[in-house]
């Protein structure tokens, strides 16, 4: 791991935790001087199957004059089957490229060529499984493919453990089920009403004082675009606990997050050229996985998820 990444991740500033329905969110603020102008990819990004379609790859085209970020874990719906993005990618203005993805809809291989941003992200359990296998494939084969079977197994668990039947074993069935659960949707709506704070660029999710996940984006605007997806995923992920997490005070929450970030930053990782612009970092231990993307020496996106 580079000392630059160590400096970047430990320079992030935690704020006061907020607990709703047993789920704690800790805001994260950027260090002074962070000035990334990279925008989040939305529906202006053209995503399509390859001319000869293949499960682990899609084509993207950025027709805008701005660099666009596709964060790891984003779900792209449509095409011959819905996919999740394997690594974070900055697509330069005006360029086309092929990106690595995983299938999250095992029972379908038909339909149209084009995709849409689903506005959703993968569950923590799926992201951990996917990121572990991506790092292993980078280390062993210089490939950014995932272990597709492990992703499908995780989706099956997410559906079956909730008694959810989804046509074509589509992971998004878990998210659709959330809309039918009034108690959990109430928690989602509380967090959406809270919104994000001025200068906030990331968030940590915790159960009590256990940090479950961290995501940091290039700007407040980029986080705002992703906020609903993050909140919904956090509420879905809370199903793994039999009891709600206790409310924690500011000092305990900030200390827990700083300890988690320091542990991630101190772990050796694998550097890899980005699919688009920049350099990726991949970290994997028994306790957590993490992934970062730097462009022009600045950390523009990172995540970390506890196992």
pLDDT in tens, 174-225: 999 999 999 999 999 999 999 999 999 999 999 999 999 999 999 999 999 9
Q: Is the pLDDT of residue 1 over 60?
A: no
d(CA 15, CA 113): 43
pLDDT at 4: 58
Task: Supply the pLDDT for residue 292.
Answer: 94
Q: Region of 220 please: left (phi>0), alpha (psi -120 to 50) or beta.
A: alpha
What does DSSP assign to residue 240? G
pLDDT of 2 > 70? The answer is no
**3-class DSSP state for residue 210?**
strand
Contact status, residue 100 vs residue 282, Cβ threshold 8 Å: no
Helix boundaries (H) for 216-299: 220-237, 250-265
The proportion of the chain whose per-residue pLDDT surpasses 90, expressed as a percent, equals 91
Rounded CA Rg of the chain: 18
91: helix, strand or coil: strand
Distance CA 49, CA 80 (A): 8
Per the confidence metrics, is the pTM higher than 0.75?
yes
Give every CB contact of residue 181 below 8 A, 6+ residues apart in sequence: none
d(CA 171, CA 238): 16
CA 225/CA 119 separation, integer angstroms: 9
Helix then strand then coil, % of the chain, to nearest 5: 30, 30, 35
Provide the mean pLDDT of the chain. Answer: 95
What pLDDT, on a 0 to 100 scale, did the predictor assign at position 11?
A: 85
31 pLDDT higher than 80: yes
CA distance 298 to 207: 30
Buried b (16+ CB within 10 A) or exposed e, 206-243: bbbbebbbbbbbbbbebbebbbebbbbbbbbbbeeeee
Q: Which helix (H) or strand (E) holds 117?
A: strand 115-121
Q: How far, in Å, CA of 139 to CA of 134, rounded?
A: 9
Q: pLDDT tens across 96-138, in order?
A: 999 999 999 999 999 999 999 999 999 999 999 999 999 999 9
| CA 230/CA 4 separation, integer angstroms | 27
């Amino acid at each position: 791991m580079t000392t630059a990444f160590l400096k970047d991740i430990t320079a992030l500033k935690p704020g006061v935790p907020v607990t709703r329905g047993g789920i704690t969110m800790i805001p994260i603020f950027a260090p002074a001087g962070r000035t990334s102008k990279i925008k989040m990819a939305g529906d202006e990004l053209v995503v399509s199957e390859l001319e000869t379609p293949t499960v682990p790859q899609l084509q993207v085209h950025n027709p805008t004059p701005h660099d666009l970020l596709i964060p790891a874990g984003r779900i792209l719906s449509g095409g011959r089957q819905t996919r999740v993005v394997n690594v974070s990618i900055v697509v330069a203005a005006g360029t086309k490229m092929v990106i690595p993805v995983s299938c999250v809809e095992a029972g379908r291989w038909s339909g149209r060529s084009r995709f849409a941003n689903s506005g959703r992200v993968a569950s923590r359990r799926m992201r951990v499984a996917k990121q572990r296998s991506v790092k292993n494939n980078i280390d062993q084969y210089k490939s950014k493919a995932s272990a597709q079977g492990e992703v499908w197994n995780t989706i099956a668990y997410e559906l079956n453990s909730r008694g959810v039947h989804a046509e074509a074993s589509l992971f998004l069935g878990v998210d659709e089920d959330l809309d039918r659960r009034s108690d959990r949707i109430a928690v989602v709506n509380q967090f959406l009403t809270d919104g994000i704070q001025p200068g906030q660029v990331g968030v940590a999710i915790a159960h009590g004082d256990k940090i479950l996940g961290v995501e940091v984006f290039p700007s407040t605007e980029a986080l705002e675009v992703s906020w609903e997806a993050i909140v919904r995923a956090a509420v879905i992920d809370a199903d793994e606990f039999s009891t709600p997490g206790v409310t924690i005070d500011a000092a305990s929450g900030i200390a827990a997050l700083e300890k988690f970030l320091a542990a991630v930053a101190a772990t050796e990782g694998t550097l890899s050229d980005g699919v688009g612009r920049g350099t990726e970092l991949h970290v994997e231990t028994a306790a957590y996985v993490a992934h970062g993307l730097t462009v022009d020496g600045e950390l523009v996106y990172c995540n970390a998820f506890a196992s």
